[in-house]
Amino acid sequence: MIGRRALLALLAGGAAMPLRRGAASELPRERLLMPTGASGGATLLVAGNHSAMADRWVPVLPTALAQGLDLPAPLPVRDTVGQDGVTGANLFDSQFASDGMVALAAPGSALVSSLCGDPRVHFDYSRWLPLLLSLTMPVVIGRAQLHRSLGNFMRDRPVRIAVSTLTGIELPTVLAMSLFGLRPIPVTGLATPQAAAAALRDNQVDTIQITDPLGTPETTALISTLAQAGFPALFTLGTQVDPLPLPNDQQVMSLQARLQQDAHSALHDLLYAAWKPLAAAAGVDLALVLPMLTQSATLARWRAGTTQAMHDSAIQSMAHQSGRTLLTGTDATEALRLASGDTSTIMTLRRWLAAHLPTWRLG
């Protein structure tokens, strides 16, 4: 049976990545490598050991999961190199596809890379079984005149956007500007909030995305400083009704609410439907998942243990202080489904990328 990723490649032709081999979970069981935890037991595979996700979660998650699973010692951790998590997610799908003893911790950047059809990607996260999703609410910050003109602009006006890479975690902001009828121009190499903010102050860019606005006191202070300097928050990468409170008495509406106010027709655009899973993926701080072929009894034990682990005081404190939303059970399943999109929305996204990437690469 052809998988979703293979179908997308066939439909997209040159706009998407080349047809990949069968997913690892489709291989005969005897060809799959078994996990190599300390005693053949539960192991945590961390995708992207240089990511902010790893820095935040590795110190607390193995111990909390061990307590939830009633194990005598913290779960062994297997790191994979990189920042966006693609290497670790590939390894997870290719080598640990059916045993259910290895859980993957992946950042949202890996999901964004998959949606974009990054040729490095050989995993299908829509088939993962989520145990926990930790969510943030990214915000878009820009110049005051842009804030006032989103609903009253000259079409095709260029807007420079700070990004890490052309298809990085900031891509939802780039696409959002297209929904307002603007012409986004990504400015690459600005991978940290500090670098992006400096570029905004120096008039090198007009808009930046802060993916984790409440993650650290330093980031929160940076947002406050920018607001005082005339760079307010424009909108969040969300669809929520209630605004997000930020420093300097900012009440930041969602992109959906902003479009409802300033560009109502965009809400019915196919690009807006494509933006939704992209924004949802970018808002994933952590996806803790098992492979699709995990046996039901093993999955049930992991889910019960994960739910129990969320009561750990260190995790509760971290989530409260950094503005995270923690989802388990059916809530996590639904959130991952929304971040996975469907064939139509993914094809729309990749066609839009195929139309713009050549121009962006030329600068």
Q: Note whether 24 and 95 are within 8 A (CB).
A: yes
Task: Give the fold, CATH level 3, of 139-279.
Answer: D-Maltodextrin-Binding Protein; domain 2 (3.40.190)
Token readout for 282 is 């970018």
Residue ranges, comma separated, of all CATH 3.40.190.150 domains in the chain are 4-136+283-349
Q: Which of 136-150, 159-173, 207-221, 337-351 is least confident?
A: 136-150
* pLDDT tens digit sequence for 142-179: 986 776 667 665 667 899 999 999 999 999 999 999 99
pLDDT on residue 34: 31
pLDDT on residue 153: 58
Task: Give the fold, CATH level 3, of 4-136+283-349.
Answer: D-Maltodextrin-Binding Protein; domain 2 (3.40.190)
Say whether pLDDT at 82 is over 50.
yes
Residue ranges, comma separated, of all CATH 3.40.190.10 domains in the chain are 139-279
Residue 141 pairs in a beta bridge with 208, 233
3-state SS, residue 165:
coil
Q: Note whether 262 and 150 are within 8 A (CB).
A: yes
Q: Which of 21-25, 251-255, 296-300 is least confident?
A: 21-25
Say whether pLDDT at 17 is over 50.
no
* pLDDT tens digit sequence for 26-41: 333 222 233 333 334 8
As a whole number of angstroms, the distance between CA 32 and CA 48 comes to 22
pLDDT on residue 9: 53
Average pLDDT over residues 108-131: 97
As a whole number of angstroms, the distance between CA 125 and CA 118 comes to 14
- Quickly tell me which residue has 């030329």 as its tokens: 362
